[in-house]
């Protein structure tokens, strides 16, 4: 235990991080070089404890030849933490203010970027259903990580957090019976097929993949906080180009995006507390 604690506090040099990221990129095509260094080092330190390593570079030969180890490293860097109706005040805002705005579009294409295990995607599906908009909506849910996408597609989770999700739903202004949206089994809850109909999961890497054309709403919450300034700027550009004029962008409420308004003048802030923007029609 003492040894583990010592390793946990072990300093990681930038050169070690650079070498590991180069190995991941060249061998597996995942480019994490633009991610914020502080949180990246935190994840890597956790991996050192997990694999009982004294130096980070000891991981490089193993991950080059062992895909399972590489996947563990990739999963750990990409952090799939999520909840249904996470930050209920944001969902309350969407329910009351954004659903009526989206209702003015004849087709509602939504890009939800960084979907993890899908809880956010299906929360949105439930919200669209309750707003009566699901039949003209399509949600493209993307993530860098194929393992997370497979789980999200299944739409089945351990039941242990269900009570929290139910409370989130109620705090967001949900008046239905949250459990009606799920099939409950002994230790799991599965979203009912109806709420999967308009949801599509696609592998997409925000670092180097292209735009989604003509979407009316982009949600990307709790993803950009892991990125460095340059990568954040690149991704906001991607979202801006993907949005139709008058379309909406929602970021994570705790996310501070460097110089967003100065660098992206086409995005006007609509509500600061929930980080909601609209793409204006002028330059
Ligand atoms: C903390 S989760 C956020 C889940 C959900 N949006 C929420 O707020 O509850 C971050 C997700 O972003 C994904 N991600 C990280 N880097 C990415 C990238 N370059 N391209 C696409 N998705 C990425 C991760 O795989 C992970 O599923």
pLDDT tens for each residue of 133-171: 999 999 999 999 999 999 999 999 999 999 999 999 999
pLDDT tens readout for residues 121-130 = 999 999 999 9
Q: Assess contact for 166 and 178: CB atoms under 8 A.
A: yes
Q: Assess contact for 12 and 45: CB atoms under 8 A.
A: yes
Average pLDDT for 237-247: 96
Which residues does 156 contact at the CB level (< 8 Å), separation at least 6? 188, 189, 190, 191
Residue closest via CA to ligand 1's atom 15 equals: 78
Alpha helices in the chain (DSSP H): 2-8, 14-28, 37-51, 59-65, 67-78, 88-93, 99-102, 119-130, 146-154, 162-171, 229-242, 260-263
What is the reported pLDDT for 190?
98
What confidence tier does 9 reach under pLDDT thresholds 50, 70, 90? low
Lowest mean pLDDT among 50-54, 128-132, 201-205, 245-249: 50-54
Provide the percentage of residues in the chain whose pLDDT is more than 90: 89
Q: How many Å apart are CA 65 and CA 240, to the nearest integer?
A: 39
Rounded (10°) angle between helices 14-28 and 67-78: 120
**pTM, 2 dp:** 0.94
Q: How many Å apart are CA 261 and CA 249, to the nearest integer?
A: 13
Lowest mean pLDDT among 71-75, 220-224, 252-256: 252-256
Nearest 10 degrees: Cα torsion 203, 207, 213, 216: 90
Average pLDDT for 226-236: 95
What is the reported pLDDT for 1?
41
| For ligand 1, mutation pick of 143, 201, 209, 211 (most atoms within 8 Å of CB) | 143
- For the chain, what is the radius of gyration of the CA atoms? 20
Residue 211 three-state SS: coil
pLDDT tens readout for residues 163-193 = 999 999 999 999 999 999 999 998 999 999 9
Instruction: Report how far ligand 1's centroid is from the alpha carbon of 2 (Å).
Output: 33
What is the reported pLDDT for 11?
81
Average pLDDT for 95-110: 97
Residue closest via CA to ligand 1's atom 24 equals: 78
Average pLDDT for 224-240: 95
What is the reported pLDDT for 244?
95
Residue whose token pair is 């490293």 = 73
What is the reported pLDDT for 212?
87
What is the reported pLDDT for 4?
47
| For ligand 1, mutation pick of 32, 33, 114 (most atoms within 8 Å of CB) | 114
Provide the percentage of residues in the chain whose pLDDT is more than 70: 96
What residues does ligand 1 touch, defined as CB less than 6 Å away?
78-82, 86, 114, 116, 120, 143-145, 148, 205-207, 221-223
- Quick check: 47 pLDDT over 50? yes
């Amino acid at each position: 235990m003492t040894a583990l604690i010592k390793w946990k506090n072990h300093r990681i040099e930038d050169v070690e991080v650079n070498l590991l990221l180069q190995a991941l990129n060249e061998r597996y095509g995942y480019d994490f070089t633009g991610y914020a260094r502080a949180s990246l080092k935190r994840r890597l330190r956790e991996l050192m404890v997990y694999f009982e390593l004294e130096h980070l570079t000891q991981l490089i030969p193993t991950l080059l030849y062992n895909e399972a180890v590489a996947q563990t490293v990739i999963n750990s860097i990409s952090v799939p933490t999520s909840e249904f109706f996470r930050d209920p005040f944001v969902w309350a805002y969407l329910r009351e203010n954004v659903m009526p705005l989206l209702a003015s579009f004849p087709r509602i294409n939504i890009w939800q970027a960084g979907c993890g295990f899908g809880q956010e995607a299906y929360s949105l599906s439930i919200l669209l259903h309750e707003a009566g908009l699901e039949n003209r909506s399509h949600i493209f849910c993307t993530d860098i990580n194929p393992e997370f996408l497979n789980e999200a597609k299944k739409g089945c989770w351990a039941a242990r957090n269900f009570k929290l999700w139910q409370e989130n739903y109620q705090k967001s202004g949900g008046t239905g019976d949250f459990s009606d949206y799920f099939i409950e089994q002994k230790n799991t809850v599965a979203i009912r097929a109806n709420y999967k109909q308009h949801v599509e999961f696609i592998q997409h890497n925000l670092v180097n993949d292209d735009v989604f054309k003509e979407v009316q709403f982009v949600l990307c919450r709790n993803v950009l906080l892991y990125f460095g300034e340059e990568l954040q700027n690149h991704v906001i550009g991607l979202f801006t180009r993907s949005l139709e004029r008058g379309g909406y962008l929602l970021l994570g409420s705790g996310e501070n995006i460097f110089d967003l308004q100065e660098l992206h003048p086409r995005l006007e802030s609509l509500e600061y507390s929930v980080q909601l923007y609209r793409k204006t029609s002028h330059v």
